Chains A and B, each alone.
Chain A
Amino acid sequence: QLQLQESGPGLVKPSETLSLTCTVSGGSISGTSYYWGWIRQAPGKGLNWIGLIYYSGTTYYNPSLKRRVTISMDTSKNQFSLNLNSVTAADTAVYYCARGLYGSGTDYWGQGTLVTVSS
């Protein structure tokens, strides 16, 4: 059974960089069919897609976040990561990592991790 687990600081100061890692177990992130992505959900709000990465290294980002986001993967550790720089309070959210298939939605999700941006 594939499992995804987010990890990283729960508190980030304004203007700094939010960094999260997703560790995948029960399967390899090296498969060519799937993408590995990040989605966030501000408190009491809806889902917001951040971006994704394929095994090839190809990335796609939400245009509204593109200038601040980087998603990368480390196949040796079976992990992929999210960096979001110059954060503000508006970036406070539960951040989910997930696996998906082109056009077919995301079928496996991590449990989510709350990141609060505050001084």
Chain B
Amino acid sequence: QSALTQPPSASGSPGQSVTISCTGTSSDVGGYDYVSWYQQHPGKAPKLVIYEVSKRPSGVPDRFSGSKSGNTASLTVSGLQAEDEADYYCSSYAGSNVVFGGGTKVTVL
């Protein structure tokens, strides 16, 4: 079972946008519209910020958006704020199991 591929790091200045990619295969990301994204601050549990590729849970700012093309999903954080500095993980349904990406550390410059 291979993890989904994410860039290890991304950064942006306050107010700018940052986009994180998540590449899988036709057996996971490309095969289902069931991609989720999680934000994790140090020492904290992950928090769901996007589900089903582009849906936002209640309470998540609309600065967070998701999309997918083929085997690659993306998370965009617009209008970066200091509190957005965190690790971000993608996840995909993969048949009878779930796979995660390796995580991307987002730094707000």
Interface residues of A (CB under 8 A from B): 37, 39, 46-49, 51-52, 60-64, 96, 103-107, 109-112
Q: Nearest residue in A to B36 (C-beta to C-beta)?
A: A105
Contact (Cβ within 8 A) B102 A106: no
Contact B48 A110 (CB under 8 A): no
Q: Which of B32, B48, B89, B99 has the most CB of A within 10 A?
A: B48
**Chain B count of residues within 8 A CB distance of the other chain:** 27
A49 touches B34 (CB 8 A): no
Q: How many A-B residue pairs have CB under 8 A?
A: 62
Q: What residues of chain B lie closer than 8 Å to A61, measured between beta carbons? A: 97
CA distance A106 to B40 in the complex (A): 13
Specify which of A46, A51, A64 lies most central, judged by the most chain B CB atoms within 10 Å of its CB. Answer: A46
- Does A47 lie within 8 Å of B103, measured CB to CB? yes
Mark B residues whose CB is within 8 Å of A.
1, 3, 32-34, 36, 38, 40, 45-48, 51-52, 55, 57, 89, 91, 93, 96-103
| Closest B residue to A97 using CB positions | B45
Instruction: Give every chain B residue within 8 A of A47 (Cβ-Cβ).
Output: 38, 40, 46, 89, 91, 100, 103
A61 CB, nearest partner CB in chain B, Å: 7
Some 29 contacts from A to B, beta carbons below 8 A apart, are A37-B98, A39-B46, A39-B100, A46-B3, A46-B101, A47-B38, A48-B100, A49-B91, A49-B100, A52-B98, A60-B97, A62-B1, A63-B1, A63-B97, A96-B45, A96-B46, A103-B33, A103-B34, A103-B93, A104-B52, A105-B36, A105-B38, A105-B48, A105-B91, A107-B51, A109-B47, A110-B45, A111-B45, A112-B45
| A52, A62, A109: the one within 8 Å of B46 (CB) | A109
Min CB distance A7 to B, Å, is 15
CB pair B51 A105 closer than 8 Å: yes
- Inter-chain contact B1/A107, CB cutoff 8 Å: no
A52 to B, closest residue via Cβ: B98
B40, B52, B98 interface centre (most CB from chain A within 10 Å): B98
Within 8 Å CB of B96, what residues of A?
60
Q: Which residues does chain A contribute within 8 Å of B57, judged by CB atoms?
A: 107
